[in-house]
Structure 1
Amino acid sequence: MSSDQALNAALLRSDRFRLEREADWLRLEEIVAKTEKGKARRLSDDDVLALPTLYRTLLSSLSIARENSLDAGLIDYLEGLALRSYFLVYGTQTGFARWLGGFFGGGWSRAVRAIGVDIWIALAVMAAGTAIGFFLVAGDADWFYALVPSGFADVRVPGASEQALRGTLFGAQQDEGLGVFAAFLFSNNAQVAILAFALGFAFAIPSILLLIHNMALLGAMLWVFAQRGLTGDFLGWLSIHGTTELFAILLAGAAGIHVGRSIAFPGTRSHLQAASDAGKRAALVMLGVIFMLICAGLLEGFARQLIDNTAGRFAVGGAMLLLWLIYFFGFGRGSQRSGG
């Protein structure tokens, strides 16, 4: 083989080597460049998690390039990137305060937007569950006792008078009436949120059934008040903490559905890789769900007790709903998305 042929063969090997691995190098270089410019908060959660893997892949590429005496310029580039990456991977680690700032500063909202399809699915399931509970009780009042725990079947039952039902919504009686029911709903919904996420791995079917059952309970109670023309007052009472609490349930259910859907339909990825990618996004969403449930508990414990009129309750509940919508779907869009 002539010297020209040998040179051409070496260049061909170098070009092929670059084409096979260049995408990972460029991604790593982009992560390093953003960090060096003080823009680490713009990194997506997937990029942060991928950093160690990309760094190890780079070192492997550098080792192969040296052993095969590939293009000197390519080796210099890989060595420079490896040096810059080393300080990022093994340098000072991000503290909790900084991580928390990144989480609320866009990480959480990006993770929620990344499961947008699953949120719509969970919303449809929850609406269907509410309708099922409502119409089952409307058709046969005995369904109420099958859906609602017996401990809450006092005056809030089918056939109760308007005066009795209104008394549980307003005034001092609410502490003995729906106040207890609200505490039950919060405890129950917190459990449902955790289970809806945890059961998502079973192709999301248990998560969907759990959402339907949970919302059927609410639908049954809604019918009791609707039969006496108290729909608005009941929804107002519920909205103070319900817009936050039910939103948390929605996100938890969507997170579970996201995991299950990714396992059932992994696309070009392996089932394990699909589950891993979905789990990372869903876990971020669930961290925020815990925060939302704490907020809902505070609203239920204080705001509901202090505001004794329907308009005020709708105002608080509506404001909280608007706040969550703005944060999830309007905040942090300038940053990279956290996944597909």
Structure 2
Amino acid sequence: MNAAPASAGEQAVAAAVLRSDRFRLEREGDWVRIEAIITAMEKGRVQRLSDDDVLALPVLYRNLLSSLSIARESSLDAGLIAYLESLTLRAYFLVYGTRTTFGAWCRSFFGGGLSRAVRAIWVDLLIALAFMVVGALVGYALVAADQDWFSRLVPTQFADVRVPGASREALESTLFGEARSDGLEVFAAYLFSNNAQVAILAFALGFALGVPTVLLLIYNMASLGAMLWVFASRGLTLEFVGWLSIHGTTELLAILLAGAAGLHVGRALGFPGARSHMAALSGAGRTAAQVMAGVIVMLICAGLLEGFARQLVQSTTLRYAIGYGVLTAWLLYFFALRPRRS
């Protein structure tokens, strides 16, 4: 009674195996050839390939896609499908992927790609700069009118003795304390983490039409304005600005760029123009991502200046020279460097 069904099942399996073997025999030559080409290119041996192999790669890739499609539709064995999928993925990156070394990418990025991306968001830079200036003025004015605002605007870890009512001597000691190298590495790492968090949030919040980004920029600068009032009230404005400038020019410029990148994405989402929302977001996202890569580099520089140079340099004049010399270098790089596209 069970012989017939078993025989039918065996026949079905045998037919499937035969179909799979015939499919493999008909196309395996192309698979072996494209796998050899891919392997040679992955190992950097392109010069060993013949001109015919290089020219045949796109055709072989299309045939490989066709083979994979047929294998899936015909429900051929899973091992064959997995092999074709792996081979197709490897071929895709060689046919359509960007083949460049890390060094070449760095030369392209820092040699003009980053500066072009920054110039492309100049409108957003002006908007972000305006809100940052407003934030600093608001923070200064609020504390000048009511000193209770200071504790609401300035995080406690930054306040210590730098609070309203502190004596000139106490405030001056925070600006020109004895330079110590021990622990500066930890301090630099902490400040870099804080600044990076503000910059990344300013960028990430841009998706909500840029409104949270604007609020974060205003709040961050309001804290700075509040702290500025404390030192200004004791006649230490120049000294405080010099103390801040040695690292703050780079740090604040990085936060400005991050905020502008977030606003650029928000503007693309809210006002895509003639393009679709997806097309506008795609273009804005690529530009903003380049800017943010530069922001990370700037924050690393700011962290080093903040943790080391600011503590070791005790001259206000030298602090101004370093801070605004570095700022000038950044601005020249972003807006004066205009290499021709390769």
When the two structures are superposed, what TM-score results if normalisation uses the length of structure 2? 0.68
Structure 1 residue aligned with 2:132: 126
Is 1:207–1:256's contact at 8 Å kept on the other side of the alignment? yes
Structure 2 residue aligned with 1:95: 101
Q: CA deviation at 1:118?
A: 0.3
Q: State the alpha-carbon separation in 1 of the partners of residues 330 and 293 from structure 2.
A: 15
Residues 180, 231 of structure 1: alpha-carbon distance in 2 compared, 3 angstrom cutoff: farther
Structure 1 residue aligned with 2:72: none
For 1:46-67, what per-residue CA distance to the aligned partner results, in whole angstroms no more than 9, with x for missing partners? xxxxxxxxx9xxx9xxxxxxxx
Is 1:152–1:181's contact at 8 Å kept on the other side of the alignment? no
- Whether 1:277 and 2:245 are equivalent positions in the alignment is no
Once the two structures are aligned, what percentage of the paired residues are identical? 66
Q: State the alpha-carbon separation in 2 of the partners of residues 329 and 118 from structure 1.
A: 15
When the two structures are superposed, what TM-score results if normalisation uses the length of structure 1? 0.69
- Whether 1:255 and 2:261 are equivalent positions in the alignment is yes
The structure showing larger relative contact order (alpha-carbon pairs under 8 Å, at least 6 residues apart) is: 1
For 1:234-292, what per-residue CA distance to the aligned partner results, in whole angstroms no more than 9, with x for missing partners? 01001111111110000000000000011111100011111111000000000010000
Q: CA deviation at 1:189?
A: 2.1
Match of 1:147 among 121, 145, 153: 153
Residue identity opposite 1:318 in structure 2 = Y
Q: State the alpha-carbon separation in 1 of the partners of residues 300 and 312 from structure 2.
A: 18
Residue identity opposite 2:201 in structure 1 = L
Structure 2 residue aligned with 1:211: 217
Residues 180, 101 of structure 1: alpha-carbon distance in 2 compared, 3 angstrom cutoff: closer
Q: State the alpha-carbon separation in 2 of the partners of residues 160 and 299 from structure 1.
A: 27
Is 1:167–1:174's contact at 8 Å kept on the other side of the alignment? no
Residue identity opposite 1:257 in structure 2 = L
How many residues align? The count is 252
**Where does 1:1-340 land on structure 2 (aligned, <5 Å)?**
93-172=99-178, 186-335=192-341
Q: State the alpha-carbon separation in 1 of the partners of residues 181 and 112 from structure 2.
A: 38
For 1:143-199, what per-residue CA distance to the aligned partner results, in whole angstroms no more than 9, with x for missing partners? 0001112233332111111111001100328999x9999876543221110011111
Residues 278, 107 of structure 1: alpha-carbon distance in 2 compared, 3 angstrom cutoff: same
Residue identity opposite 1:118 in structure 2 = D
Residues 96, 293 of structure 1: alpha-carbon distance in 2 compared, 3 angstrom cutoff: same
Match of 2:105, SS?
helix
Give the unaligned 5+ runs of structure 2: 1-57, 63-93
For 1:126-159, what per-residue CA distance to the aligned partner results, in whole angstroms no more than 9, with x for missing partners? 1111111111100000000011122333321111
Is 1:241–1:296's contact at 8 Å kept on the other side of the alignment? yes
Q: State the alpha-carbon separation in 2 of the partners of residues 140 and 181 from structure 1.
A: 31
Structure 1 residue aligned with 2:25: none
Give the unaligned 5+ runs of structure 1: 1-54, 60-87
